[in-house]
Structure 1
Amino acid sequence: MKHTLVAGALLVTATLTHAAGFQLSSPDIKSGGTIDPRFEFNGFGCSGDNKSPARQWRGAPAGTKSFAVTVYDPDAPTGSGWWHWSVINLGADVSELKPDAGAVGGANLPKGASHVRIDYGVAGWGGTCPPQGDKPHRYIFTVYALKTDRLELPADATAALAGYMIKANALGQASFTAKYGRAKAKP
């Protein structure tokens, strides 16, 4: 933690590191690769299966008490990016999310874990769906190792609030990025 005095107030900033040996991967999506259309959202003009891909991680830093997983598109034309998935309260003994763990309702999540409401307005996976004709968007898949057993968030918490609490409690993170684009609509 870094402490800074700003205008008479103490500002505490968490320093997030990529922990040595902490790794995230997916059998469904290669780091630096292209995301398969089956993970595309079904709605807003997109017609994918809206199923979340599997994820595995290993090498969490010492002291990890829980995990959180997020998927974020920094290229969405919103001014603030787009949250596609946010999962909190994954136990320290959890090291993977199975395919379609993102189903709305949380039935496919490990015990104790929960979804956070994302930018589609639901608590669950929201697949890729960049505007047609945009250059391929980057999707950042991240797992965070947390120093707390649970994040206590309101039931209607936003992904941005969850992100704030995740980063405030993170010991380390592991990420990979993949891309997805949609061809321009034919006239």
Structure 2
Amino acid sequence: MAGIMLRSTAFTDHDLLPGRFAKDGGNVSPPLQWADVPDAAEELVLLVEDPDAGKEPFLHWLVTGIAPESGEVPEGGVPPGGQEWPNSFGETGWSGPLPPQGEDPHRYFFRLYALNRPLELPGAPRATDVHQALKGREIASGTTVGTYYR
């Protein structure tokens, strides 16, 4: 499967996320940039999840319907053409990291998927629902990881 280059100008891969992105900080989404999206992509999907939050990954941000030619999203913005979904906090859109105080740093996986046909999801999908729905549609992906602790 092809790879999408995904990065942020606010943090480097596997580095600490600045506090302004945390739920108890400014709670704004970080800027993201991407490249190498396949021409066959019908839509992009952005999934941000914390696999260290418990038995099931904690969904922080889900955006579907992103225009394949878009290339970036600014800090605090919504990707072009994107539809934001409810996250695990029960809020629509970005909700930043809020791991329990004193725990080891949690990892926040920012994943961008290129799909060959639009994603179909239930009304309030969990991260596992998204992963299941991606099967058979994903033609490329890219990942960058931020960490955070309190």
TM-score normalised over the length of structure 2? 0.91
What number of residue pairs does the alignment pair up?
Answer: 149
Higher Cα Rg, which structure: 1
What CA deviation, in whole Å up to 9, does each residue of 1:82-138 have, x standing for no partner? Answer: 11111000012211111112xxxxxx4423x20121101112001001100000011
User: For 2:74, which of 70, 87, 98 is the aligned residue?
Assistant: 98
For 1:44, the equivalent position in structure 2 comes to: none
For 1:23, the equivalent position in structure 2 comes to: 5
1:33 and 2:15 correspond:
yes
CA distance in 2, matches of 1:109, 1:60: 15
The code of the aligned residue for 2:69 comes to D
The code of the aligned residue for 1:123 comes to T
For 1:88, the equivalent position in structure 2 comes to: 64
On the 8 A contact 2:5/2:36 being kept in 1, the answer is yes
On the 8 A contact 2:72/2:79 being kept in 1, the answer is no
Shift of 1:158: 1.2
The code of the aligned residue for 1:95 comes to G
CA distance in 2, matches of 1:93, 1:144: 13
- Percent identity reads 32
For 1:172, the equivalent position in structure 2 comes to: 140
1:110 and 2:80 correspond:
yes
Q: Secondary structure at the match of 1:144?
A: strand
1:49 and 2:26 correspond:
yes
Shift of 1:177: 1.2
On the 8 A contact 1:116/1:162 being kept in 2, the answer is no
For 2:106, the equivalent position in structure 1 comes to: 137
Bigger RCO (CA 8 Å, 6+ sep): 2
CA distance in 1, matches of 2:88, 2:135: 19
On the 8 A contact 1:54/1:96 being kept in 2, the answer is yes
1:68 and 2:36 correspond:
no
CA distance in 1, matches of 2:92, 2:132: 17
Q: Secondary structure at the match of 2:16?
A: coil
TM-score normalised over the length of structure 1? 0.74
On the 8 A contact 2:108/2:147 being kept in 1, the answer is yes
Which runs of no fewer than 5 residues in structure 1 stay unpaired? 1-16, 42-46, 102-107, 183-187
